[in-house]
Amino acid sequence: MYWLQPDFFYTTLPMTPLHPVVDRVTQRIRERSAATRSVYLQRLETLRQRDPGADRLGCANVAHAFAALPKDERFKVVAQKAPNLGIVTAYNDMLSAHQPYEGYPALIRETALKLGATAQVAGAVPAMCDGVTQGYPGMELSLFSRDTIAMSTAIALSHDVFDAVGTVAAEGLAAYGRKPCLDGAAVRWDDLPAASGDDSVVRTVAAPFSATGGLKLLTGNMGRSVIKVSAVPEDRHVVEAPAIVFDSQEALLAAFKAGALERDFVAVVRFQGPQANGMPELHKLTPPLAVLQGKGFKVALVTDGRMSGASGKVPAAIHVSPEALAGGPLAKVCNGDLVRLDAVAGTLQALVAADEWQARPLAQRDVALAESHTHGLGRELFAGLRRNVSTAETGACSWL
């Protein structure tokens, strides 16, 4: 077993010098988090110094904890003080990437036994497929599935009978900056080659595909948002067109099917933030907007909802903060307002006179629409998370 030492974060493999701006931001984060990070690392060290799991519990607790183990494995843990590893699995058959996890517990147990240890499945966490739920109510649980995963992991490990490890690699996470290779039946970690084998696929930082990585911050009187421009044609990095306001993605899809969007426009899809309905991913809007863009229309999406790289070639200002339900400026936008999304200058602006914009009332979400987001598919159980969640810009976290 290998432990993360307190100085782990500063003992990684040699790296290319950071960009000056990234270096300054990193230093600010390091300074700002020094106190809390120090406390956290001290807590880890305290955990590391504890007795093995079986020695921390009473006899009755131990009997319950290891009742399902074969007798010889119980002996290993209790009498021989063998390390006991806890497994938290995300296996399910709904996600193709998670289905292979089905056999992992057996493989981990087998390997642990060969090394003189034991392993138990402590619990499981949920995992949902956004590809299945996109455009449907189940997507409204996607954001909060992160919180549920974290809490489920805590519950799984609450039995407190397991011994902690750092990572499966002896050198910690730094080893993952190397290339794993098979050396007979063992894994060997080799340094990466100095040059890419195919720079049309992977490049070094000295000759990147893009100088910025494709993400831009947009600010203006409509709020703060992020846009991914790596796949957006350069002639679409700036869009200025009248707004068409939608309070749901269903309303936009209905307008597209009715042929009402055959023109230049900026789709403002609001009341899609964390507090409103869990900030669902709006993948379903990309195809119709892409069709309209393909017809030559200037189109863009502005929303307090979420995307995860699926906005593609359509310019999309997403995660707008503050969200409309929390009094954000998207609630001021009216149909016909001229909106300018400028990914070059980094601005998102409703071209409305300042005094008029300031005086505009905030639109309220329709009562029936609000009600529709509160029930069905277990959404009732997540009311507390919607009520307490922070802004998208601060991580949309429900438990801080």
Single out the residue of 112, 113, 87, 114 nearest to residue 101, CA to CA. Answer: 87
Hey, which residues are catalytic here?
A: 308
For the chain, give the number of residues. 400
Helix (H, G, I), strand (E, B) or coil at 4: coil
321: burial class by Cβ within 10 Å (0-12, 13-18, 19+)?
Answer: buried
Sign for the pseudo-dihedral over CA of 27, 32, 35, 41: negative
The beta strand positions in 205-298, using DSSP E, are 215-220, 223-228, 238-246, 265-269
Q: What is the DSSP string of 167-192?
A: -SSTTGGGGGGSEEEEETTEEEEEPP
Q: Directed axis angle between helix 20-32 and helix 34-48, to 10°?
A: 60
Sign for the pseudo-dihedral over CA of 111, 115, 116, 119: negative
Cis amide leading into 208 (omega within 30): no
In three-state form (DSSP H/G/I as H, E/B as E, the rest C), the secondary structure along 46-101 is HHHCCCCHHHHCCHHHHHHHCCCCCHHHHHHHHCCCCCEEEEEECCCCCCCCCHHH
Single out the residue of 269, 316, 262 nearest to residue 291, CA to CA. Answer: 262
| Helices (runs of H) and strands (runs of E) counted in the chain | 14, 12
